[in-house]
């Protein structure tokens, strides 16, 4: 494969940006990553991952590291708050017959795996640095940086997240992230022996669950309907989370409730979503990941579709005659899959908030999982 872009700047060193660097370096391209955080840190507790994500990890070459440092299992169990079992959701083995169909890992651990792979790929990483200007012409993009330097690239990839400055610069007309009326709480707790895979309990206003993230840890997640997106004092995190768990009488949930202490690393996040209509590029600047399709976690696929963006973009750059053709083909391959995840995840949240049709909820989950199993 011969790419029409030889020098590439990736703005943003999150999951999507790192995946892009790894894949583009496999083509021998000159790749630079500009990450504004000097510590290249990743915040948060656990992250649940489906089979499509593990398949993407295999493509990147990090599946073995994930399996060694995270947790993988088949299926997910669904219960009512009183412990009555509703169903076991199947998780097809998309990464290979010997690889379970889903799993979870601590976000900082996954970030470290990807960061190590990015550095090992030969990509140059500039920390504590981001852009100040983007000036395009027919042959490239001149980028001004916060450290005073100016450099020129054939292509710039914006992977700087939900509140992307690259998006604001090249697409000022794009929509803003929208609060969905739900929030999610996460905490890290010791893993009891009986917790072997993702398990969820569904109440009228609150959905909770656990998922192993390593041999000795699991993460607790609680989705809560909350009409207003207002800040919450971190000192209130533990008592508020305990109160949310009170109606779930099953022993494991009460065990989690009792275990919420200073070591639980409780994280609270309002759920926002964003879907930017195509095209996702302007000239020689293209957006990937949360910059154009940020989703709620209902389908556990936000990281997945961002990493898939990186894989597909690298494929199209390696196959196209010119950059415009590559970016157009990239958008065409990604639109329907990303739209489906964002809109279907949003609809699941709406059904949960309104107490709507449980059959529709189940159908959306089934159909979306089936669609995600298809090749990218």
**pLDDT for 290-329, tens place per residue?**
999 999 999 999 999 999 999 999 999 999 999 999 999 9
Of the candidates 23, 79, 73, 14, the residue with the CA atom closest to the CA atom of residue 48: 73
Give the Cα separation of 198 and 218 in Å (integer).
10
**Which two tokens mark 115?**
């960061």
**pLDDT for 93-144, tens place per residue?**
999 999 999 999 999 999 999 999 999 999 999 999 999 999 999 999 999 9
Domain boundaries, the chain: 7-72+103-177+272-373, 189-271
**Which two tokens mark 173?**
């007309």
**pLDDT for 130-153, tens place per residue?**
999 999 999 999 999 999 999 999
Average pLDDT score, the chain: 95
Tell me which fold the domain 7-72+103-177+272-373 belongs to.
Answer: FAD/NAD(P)-binding domain (3.50.50)
**Which two tokens mark 12?**
């943003």
Radius of gyration of the chain (CA): 21
| Residue the block writes with tokens 């999982």 | 369
Give the Cα separation of 211 and 208 in Å (integer).
10
pLDDT of residue 1: 64
Rounded to 5 degrees, what angle do the CA atoms 258, 264, 270 make?
105
Q: Where does the pLDDT of residue 52 fall: very low under 50, low under 70, confident under 90, or very high at 90 and above?
A: very high
């Amino acid at each position: 494969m011969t790419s029409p872009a030889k020098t590439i700047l990736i703005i943003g060193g999150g999951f999507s940006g790192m995946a892009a660097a790894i894949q583009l370096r496999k083509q021998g391209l000159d790749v630079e990553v500009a990450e504004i955080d000097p510590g290249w840190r990743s915040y948060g507790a656990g992250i649940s991952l489906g089979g499509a994500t593990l398949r993407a990890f295999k493509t990147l070459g990090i599946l073995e590291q994930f399996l060694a440092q995270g947790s993988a299992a088949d299926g997910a169990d669904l219960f009512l708050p009183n412990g009555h079992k509703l169903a076991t959701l199947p998780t097809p083995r998309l990464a290979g017959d010997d690889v379970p169909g889903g799993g979870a890992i601590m976000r900082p651990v996954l970030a470290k795996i990807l960061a190590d792979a990015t550095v090992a790929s030969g990509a140059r990483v500039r920390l504590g640095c981001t852009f100040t200007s983007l000036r395009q012409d027919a042959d490239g993009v001149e980028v001004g940086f916060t450290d005073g330097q100016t450099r020129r690239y054939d292509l710039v990839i914006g992977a700087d997240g939900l509140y992307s400055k690259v998006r604001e610069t090249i697409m000022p007309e794009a929509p803003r992230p929208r609060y969905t009326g739900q929030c999610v709480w996460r905490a890290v707790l010791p893993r009891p022996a009986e917790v072997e895979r993702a398990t969820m309990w569904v109440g009228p206003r609150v959905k909770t669950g656990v998922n192993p993230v390593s041999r000795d840890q699991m993460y607790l997640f609680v989705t809560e309907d909350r009409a207003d997106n207002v800040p919450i004092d971190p000192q209130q995190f533990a008592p508020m989370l305990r109160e949310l768990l009170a109606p779930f009488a099953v022993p494991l949930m009460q065990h989690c409730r009792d275990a919420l202490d200073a070591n639980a690393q409780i994280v609270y996040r309002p759920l926002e979503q964003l879907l930017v209509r195509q095209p996702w590029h302007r000239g020689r600047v293209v957006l990937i990941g949360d910059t154009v399709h940020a989703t709620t976690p209902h389908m556990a696929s936000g990281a997945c579709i961002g990493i898939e963006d990186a894989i597909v973009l690298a494929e199209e750059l390696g196959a196209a005659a010119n950059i415009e053709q590559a970016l157009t083909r990239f958008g065409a391959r990604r639109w329907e899959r990303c739209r489906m995840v964002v809109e279907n995840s949003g609809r699941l949240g709406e059904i949960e908030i309104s107490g709507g049709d449980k059959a529709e909820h189940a159908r959306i989950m089934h159909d979306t999982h089936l669609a995600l199993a298809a090749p990218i």
